[in-house]
Structure 1
Amino acid sequence: MFSAFTSFALLLSAAPAEPASAAPPPPSETAPAQVQPPSRIDSVTVPYPEVELAAGREADVVLRLTIDEHGVVTEADVVQSAGEAFDAAIRTAAFDFRFEPARVGGEAVACQIELLHAFRLGADEAPPEPEPVAEPPPEEAAPAESAPPDTKTMETTVSGRSEAERMRQSAEAVRVVSTTRARARSADMGQVLAAQEGVEVRRSGGLGSTIRFSLNGLTDDQIRFFLDGVPLDLSGYPFGFANVPVNLVDSIQIYRGVVPARFGADALGGAVNLTSAPIQDGVHGAASLQGGAFGTYRLTLGGSYRPSSGGFFARAHLFADTTRNDYRVDVQTADDTGQIRPATVSRFHDGYQALGGGLEAGFEQLGWADRVTLRAFGSGYDKDLQHNLVMSGGPFGEARYGATALGTQLLYEKALGDTVRVDALAGYAWQATDFQDTSQWVYDWFGNRVRERTQPGELGGDATDQTLWQQSFYGRANASWALSPAQTLRLAIAPTLTRRTGEQRRLASPSDVDPLSADRNILTAVTGLEYQLNAFNDAVELIVFAKDYLYAARAQQLLPTRQWQSKDRTLNQLGGGAALRLRVAEPVYLKVSYERATRLPRMDELFGNGVLVRENLDLAPETSHNVNAGLATAPLRTGLGVFRGELTGFARLAQDLILLSGRDRDWRYQNVYGARALGIEGAAGWSSPAGWFHLDANATFQDIRNTSGQGTFGAFENQRLPNRPWFFLNATARLSLRGVATAEDELSPFWTARYVHGFFRNWGGLGAVGTKETIDNQFAQAAGVGYRVRLQGFSLGLSTELDNVTNARLFDFFGVQRPGRSGWLKATVEY
């Protein structure tokens, strides 16, 4: 006998977005719609386990099945176990089940169901033929149909396709990365992103070090980072994306080359949006603690409350990081005779500490607002500085820098009738950046004081004790109109005003003019208009958009005569593009997108970062023609398992590309008149038929060259841009062993690998063959095992990991050596 019931919840797609989310759904997606549950249409027979049959045992097993919009089972998890033999029999067979997919308003959607399989001696294992009964959720109340007397009923709650799956199959050039697995591992945000195709994440050391992010050949601020649609640097994270705790992020949206107008962003090569988990009904909490090599400890705490009936809700989080970063590196140092010899030493002045938190509270279902939220946040970090950007010369023993950030945000969301929806954001952020370089001692690589300096200051030049203060006032307003069920019009406006001043407390003479005291500000306003069309029963999705960029920079430059000279710049520029998704044949679809993008210089690029990067007040905005084209497939299920694949080509044709360049202490951003990036990237994956083994890999080839014979870099025309890898790949293998000790546990051994082909640190045309500065081929591996179990409403996890298993010599940022072999342990608990 085969019977089925569900307490069945579909993955959300068009549920109301978080107030700070990047894209509120059109009203048509949230309106009540007719719901239809899935129904089995196959004739698969579930075999009775021979050992259990011989013993005369019967049992019931409950599975949680994930069914995509094509009616294919993509995941099968045991919810109620009856032992290894029974569990394996139904779970293996479930991947061969086929369903008429669930539907909302006639549209096929992905869903999850709980299915009960009853093993009975002598029973017929064929699936029941009668259709199940659908019972809509309370807010969509509708009469329930009566089921045939001999059939189990199926109770359903339908909400639509998952947001991640909807975005992946949209016309947008976006990849959505879930952090579910990463939250149980010791990997930081930089490592999670570096495992994606087309992405390079390089850093000048361990935790807390300088980070460089590259996507499809474009890098640094050419890629904008957001947290729930709000610029990351205005959301309480002044230390960069890689040090954002993974456990506070639910998923990552990576937009390649074409950035939706709703972000109100002037990104040149793409955007990365970190999304928080939706607040769940009831009381929930989570905590994680990670410890390991180099004196590293990371703690995150979070909790939320939301009544099921709406009204008041609240959420809070806290994080704390500390590390010594005392891993071993290879250097050149003088011996007792004064001869320069190679040595392996432990870093001695590279510590990092960070502390931060945030509080969010608001109300839902008010008469004048669907949701209104107030957020407040604060964070700070302190970082020792051991060497310059290229790890050349001697080390620093006392130089340090740090930052403190405070801010608040007010968010509002409201549906105006059935066709119009608006959301708005207003915020303020304050940041203070300190830099101190006042030591009177010269240090060697062993951490010893060698001699006293004639003048204080380790970085060269005068001693520095300075603070930069920066204030930002920003806003964003989005409005969407559902012109028809298949057409939507969206308008976004995002102004930002940033002001900076500072104080240098170590002037050469009390009568000298403080070069940091000038008031400097940048006003930007990005306006976007977007039209979306879904046609031919969702076979075609088209997005067309236009953007307007307003930029006004006000600055004063201190001349050698100690007088101020105005260096103002104002411009207005237009841009736009289009994106198309075409379903070629199930489950294959084609995506093509284009944008004429503009990126306006940031504060740190124009005015320096207050530490190692100098100002360049003549820096011009950069523009680019960005093109993406590729084929992708929904999960393809065969008798050999589930296959996934995606292949994309891209082109970036940039003018006035902003590039960090320099030597020693004289680093600044400069314009490369013309640059071109061409590339191709692909990803493939396979999961075994029973879902116990998963293998994924991706590779990227990119050719990034200077195309201009003019300007500072004119002599290097047609050469690859320096210090940028041109070929790299990632691979991951993971086992998923369920029911190891209890019915609700999972043991997950895993292995990851990354290969980066060798590249030039400087322009390839500089120096003779034997003297060129290069980074050799690199191959890094990591391995570990995680265990997770559910006990009485709690989810407990423990993972151990060995990073850089072979202790390979790794280099990322201008030849700065990365940590060697290291071990980590992480514990998590959720309620």
Structure 2
Amino acid sequence: MKPFLLLLRFFVTTALLLPLTTYAQDNYKIQGTVKDNRGEPLIGASVSVDGTGLHEITNEKGQFTLTVPRQSRYAVNVQHIGFKRVTQSVSFAIIGNPLTFTLQEDQTQLSEVQVTGRTETQQAKLQPIKAEIINTKAVQEQPSTLVELMNRSAGIRIRQTGGLGSSAGLMMNGFQDRAIKNFKDGIPMDYLGAGYNIGLVPVNMLERVEVYKGVLPTGLGADALGGAVNLVTKKSLYRYAEASYEIASFNTHRGSLNGLYTDTTRLFFIGADAFVNRSDNDYKVDVTVTDHETAARSEATVRLFHNKFTNYYAEAYGGLTGLRWADELRVGVTWFRINRQNQYGSSMSQPFGAALSRQYSVIPTLRYRKAFNRLSLDQFLTVSDIHTQQVDTARGTYDWYGNFIPSPSRLGEITTNGSLSDITFSYFTSRTHVGYQINDAHKAEINFVSTIIGRDGRDPRGLKLPETGQDILSLPAKYNKLVGAAGLQSVFWNEKLTNNFIVKYYYYNTATINVDVYGTALGEHRYASNSSFGIAEALKFALTPATFFRVSAEAATRLPEQDEMFGDGNFHRSNFLLKPEKSVNINAGFRTEKRNAYNLEVNAFYRITRDLILKMPIDFLFTQNQNVSNVKGLGLETDLSVNFAHWLRANGNFTYQDFRVFDTGNRLTEKARLRNTPYFFSNLGLNANLDRIAGNGRLQLYYYFTFVREYYLDYIPKSLEPDGFLGLWGKAKFEAPNIIPSQALHSLGFTYNPVNDQFAIGFQAKNIFNTNVYDNFRIQNAGRSFHLKVNYTLK
């Protein structure tokens, strides 16, 4: 009887509990969307349920789903940085119905977050190594170019030899052109040729621009003297697509498209960036016109007629993230093409009406990154061929009015023999960075950049060897370079003192046929190699988290670049006799800020350089890089930004630099200012942000002013400089085209977001008073222009 009763108890108990167990195992879901007070989805909001331990983060659409056990009522908590926390009671009766949570901004919380946490941009500004951070995200809706943004920064001038697509050279703290290295996401940009540079890339493509002055971080590890520019591309954890289109004066069109797709696990990603730049560049210029019948010369204002530029760029990439063996494995393919009409050479002395140049390439890249506890590895590889073509076959010349003057004895308009050059530059670039966190106070890094470049080509109308008549471009030219850096970053005294110590090694060798300054093939083979070491120290001492001093010093070497030695196959001559330039650089600065009120930065610098490599015109057609034996000087720059109200902000800066040649052996040029180099320039900006315009619209109004003091195309005796204090006012004691006049430029614009940040319309009037603008080598740039831009982002 007893076994029977036990068996009966078992079946009764099972019968009673089974429905409850089955009921408890059913899945009940709380799902919904989190939005801000404008109705925009909030990505990354935290959603939790009291008493369950359940937690979820909203996706790119602001959505969440939580699987919960059965209860009569649930307390759902939603919070996000910068917003007030919301708790909502949800009854079991409405389980499964979509819920909507709306969060209100919390200004107090925002202030607390800004004090305790910093963005990557803010962190970069606070490093011992001086960095100017240009926040492109803040102005990406404006029809502004990256050149304009950088020119508004202290200590920086971008000089262009014409309109959109013209050569853009960077000058910073007394150094210029290739003495300042360009990087894309920490990788030297040489492998991208002319397809991706500061004159072409839209601001929409970038997260920010890091401009390092003087000493470079170990992770960049290049042979720069004056600093570096690192273009940091956009990064996102979420899917998005963004498009922009700009139309402007001189039949200018600029478009960009970029997007990213990630799977729900974020282990896989694929994306693309593309942009196009096109302009007729047919603005008016003041030139000297020569009558081809009487040879009489007269001044005239004409419109450029053979100055079109078109550039296409596209990059597709994909990869894996968050794996045990890789934090990121990324593969990319880049394609670009440039078509350029050549209106003039190194100066505006002679017009052209038919000469063309082209450049194109397809470039594969590979990047691998992984952090192993204390050890981190970052490896980049690329192999590419960049093709450059020059077409000059007009049998005659053009005047500034576009009239063709036949000359049967000529085979080209630029040179008598003309050109049909087709040159291939082959690139192999490897960059290896290894970091090791020794302890909380010390981090060691090593960085190696290896570059192998070759040049091969042909030009049936080009230079020939004097003895054999062989095309000089058909003879291979080789260039190999290695730059290594090892650094130690240390922090002391509760992070009040930060120190960076860096040692560098430089090596290069080259082999080719020598050409003289006039472009004549000399016939002899030129072999050159050089190696040296450098050392750098950067120190920062913080009085408070927002107030600090920093100082850096460096003994550096800058190796000649391949385009400086080989030329560019266009208007830039080769020079295989270039020597490396060596420099001692010292920087000292002070920075302070009061959150939401002001920030002030003052920086001074001193340079003494031997064999400075300077790009200069050798006649009215061609330029060439040459060594300037001895240059020294000092400078001062200041930058101030003030918030007058939460909606109104002003900023201004100025730069003065006095760089002069010495020990020249020439009484007239001794202590003369460095040629073709501005010595004083300043900027002023005013921004107003107005909310609640026509509903939920937002309007930004802005004004920019830029001033550049007159400077000189060539060396002039110091006795002929203006008598005013530091040469800042007064007139030079001569009148000649050698003077690049003072320039004051004013620009006005606005950006309007009708509903939210997804769609924006931007308008800007540049150089509103139509001032004559003269830039590098006194080439005249465009006058007044109008720009309209629309921007749309889908997240």
TM-score range, shorter chain: 0.7 to 0.9
CA shift digits 1:481-508 (9 cap, x unpaired): 1111111111111111111112112258
Whichever residue aligns with residue 677 of structure 2, its letter is R
SS at 1:214 equivalent: strand
CA shift digits 1:50-104 (9 cap, x unpaired): xxxxxxxxxxxx997599xxxxxxxxxxx9899xxxxxxx99xx58x896668xx
**Which of the residues 781, 787, 798 maps onto 2:752?**
787
Q: How does 1:240-279 map to 2 (within 5 A)?
A: 240-279=197-236
Partner of 2:585: 626
Write the distance in 1 (CA, Å) between the matches of 2:170 and 2:626: 18
SS at 2:310 equivalent: strand
Q: Say if 2:750 and 2:764, in contact at 8 Å, map to a contact too.
A: yes
**Which of the residues 600, 607, 611 maps onto 2:559?**
600
Partner of 1:473: 428
Cα distance change on mapping 1:63 and 1:444 into 2, 3 Å: farther
Partner of 2:116: 109
Whichever residue aligns with residue 426 of structure 2, its letter is Q
Partner of 1:765: 717
Cα distance change on mapping 1:553 and 1:236 into 2, 3 Å: closer
Q: Say if 1:764 and 1:772, in contact at 8 Å, map to a contact too.
A: no
Whichever residue aligns with residue 775 of structure 1, its letter is I
**Matching of residue 372 in structure 1 with residue 329 in structure 2:** yes
**Matching of residue 799 in structure 1 with residue 755 in structure 2:** no
**Matching of residue 650 in structure 1 with residue 600 in structure 2:** no
SS at 2:774 equivalent: coil
Deviation at 1:512, TM superposition (A): 2.3
**Matching of residue 541 in structure 1 with residue 498 in structure 2:** yes
**Matching of residue 578 in structure 1 with residue 537 in structure 2:** yes
Cα distance change on mapping 1:224 and 1:100 into 2, 3 Å: closer
**Which of the residues 318, 326, 330 maps onto 2:286?**
330
Deviation at 1:334, TM superposition (A): 4.5
Partner of 1:521: 478
Deviation at 1:375, TM superposition (A): 1.0
**Which of the residues 766, 778, 782 maps onto 1:815?**
778
Q: Say if 2:346 and 2:622, in contact at 8 Å, map to a contact too.
A: no
**Which of the residues 741, 745, 750 maps onto 1:776?**
741
Q: How does 1:338-349 map to 2 (within 5 A)?
A: 339-349=296-306
**Which of the residues 207, 223, 228 maps onto 2:180?**
223
Partner of 2:703: 751
Cα distance change on mapping 1:237 and 1:611 into 2, 3 Å: closer
Deviation at 1:714, TM superposition (A): 8.3
Partner of 1:428: 383
Partner of 2:525: 566
SS at 1:516 equivalent: helix
Deviation at 1:348, TM superposition (A): 0.2
SS at 2:363 equivalent: strand
Q: Say if 1:706 and 1:721, in contact at 8 Å, map to a contact too.
A: yes
Q: Say if 2:345 and 2:622, in contact at 8 Å, map to a contact too.
A: no
Deviation at 1:725, TM superposition (A): 0.8
Can you give the 5+ residue segments of structure 2 that lack an aligned partner in the other structure?
1-35, 46-78, 85-100, 721-732
Whichever residue aligns with residue 196 of structure 1, its letter is S
Deviation at 1:518, TM superposition (A): 1.7
Write the distance in 1 (CA, Å) between the matches of 2:521 and 2:249: 50
Partner of 1:87: none
Partner of 2:119: 162
Deviation at 1:667, TM superposition (A): 2.8
Whichever residue aligns with residue 713 of structure 2, its letter is R
Cα distance change on mapping 1:717 and 1:359 into 2, 3 Å: same
Deviation at 1:461, TM superposition (A): 3.7
**Matching of residue 301 in structure 1 with residue 266 in structure 2:** no
Partner of 2:419: 464
Write the distance in 2 (CA, Å) between the matches of 1:384 and 1:494: 35
Cα distance change on mapping 1:509 and 1:269 into 2, 3 Å: closer
Deviation at 1:217, TM superposition (A): 1.0
Q: Say if 1:237 and 1:405, in contact at 8 Å, map to a contact too.
A: no
Q: Say if 1:280 and 1:305, in contact at 8 Å, map to a contact too.
A: no
Q: How does 1:431-450 map to 2 (within 5 A)?
A: 431-450=386-405
Deviation at 1:453, TM superposition (A): 4.9
Q: Say if 2:435 and 2:444, in contact at 8 Å, map to a contact too.
A: yes
CA shift digits 1:274-298 (9 cap, x unpaired): 00111322x2100000001001001
Partner of 2:681: 728
Write the distance in 1 (CA, Å) between the matches of 2:656 and 2:601: 15
Write the distance in 1 (CA, Å) between the matches of 2:463 and 2:131: 52
Cα distance change on mapping 1:453 and 1:823 into 2, 3 Å: farther
TM-score (norm 1): 0.78
Deviation at 1:665, TM superposition (A): 3.2
Partner of 1:76: none
CA shift digits 1:89-134 (9 cap, x unpaired): x99xx58x896668xxxxx732xxxxxxxxxxxxxxxxxxxxxxxx
Write the distance in 2 (CA, Å) between the matches of 1:723 and 1:562: 29
Q: Say if 1:401 and 1:434, in contact at 8 Å, map to a contact too.
A: yes
Q: Say if 1:279 and 1:306, in contact at 8 Å, map to a contact too.
A: no
**Which of the residues 551, 556, 559 maps onto 2:508?**
551
Deviates more, 1:771-780 or 1:680-689: 771-780
Write the distance in 2 (CA, Å) between the matches of 1:700 and 1:556: 42
The RMSD of aligned alpha carbons is 2.8
Whichever residue aligns with residue 260 of structure 2, its letter is S
Q: How does 1:129-168 map to 2 (within 5 A)?
A: 161-168=118-125
Cα distance change on mapping 1:762 and 1:66 into 2, 3 Å: farther
SS at 1:233 equivalent: helix
SS at 1:243 equivalent: coil
Whichever residue aligns with residue 824 of structure 1, its letter is H
Whichever residue aligns with residue 780 of structure 1, its letter is L
CA shift digits 1:603-626 (9 cap, x unpaired): 111121111121111110111111
Whichever residue aligns with residue 355 of structure 2, its letter is A
Cα distance change on mapping 1:63 and 1:541 into 2, 3 Å: same
SS at 1:460 equivalent: coil
Deviation at 1:430, TM superposition (A): 1.5
Q: Say if 2:513 and 2:521, in contact at 8 Å, map to a contact too.
A: no
**Matching of residue 741 in structure 1 with residue 748 in structure 2:** no
Cα distance change on mapping 1:8 and 1:688 into 2, 3 Å: farther
Cα distance change on mapping 1:313 and 1:101 into 2, 3 Å: closer
Cα distance change on mapping 1:575 and 1:308 into 2, 3 Å: farther
Whichever residue aligns with residue 536 of structure 1, its letter is W
Q: Say if 2:670 and 2:717, in contact at 8 Å, map to a contact too.
A: no
Partner of 1:14: none
Write the distance in 2 (CA, Å) between the matches of 1:222 and 1:203: 17
Whichever residue aligns with residue 109 of structure 1, its letter is T
Identical columns (%): 26
Whichever residue aligns with residue 341 of structure 1, its letter is S
Write the distance in 2 (CA, Å) between the matches of 1:250 and 1:272: 13
Larger Rg: 2
Q: Say if 1:184 and 1:798, in contact at 8 Å, map to a contact too.
A: yes
Write the distance in 2 (CA, Å) between the matches of 1:10 and 1:539: 33
Write the distance in 1 (CA, Å) between the matches of 2:419 and 2:317: 38
Q: Say if 2:514 and 2:521, in contact at 8 Å, map to a contact too.
A: no
Whichever residue aligns with residue 514 of structure 2, its letter is Q
Partner of 1:679: 635
Write the distance in 1 (CA, Å) between the matches of 2:172 and 2:270: 35
Partner of 1:51: none
TM-score (norm 2): 0.82
Count of residues in Structure 1 that have an aligned counterpart in Structure 2: 688
Write the distance in 1 (CA, Å) between the matches of 2:223 and 2:520: 37
Q: Say if 2:195 and 2:313, in contact at 8 Å, map to a contact too.
A: no
Deviates more, 1:692-701 or 1:505-514: 505-514
CA shift digits 1:586-610 (9 cap, x unpaired): 5311011111111110111112111
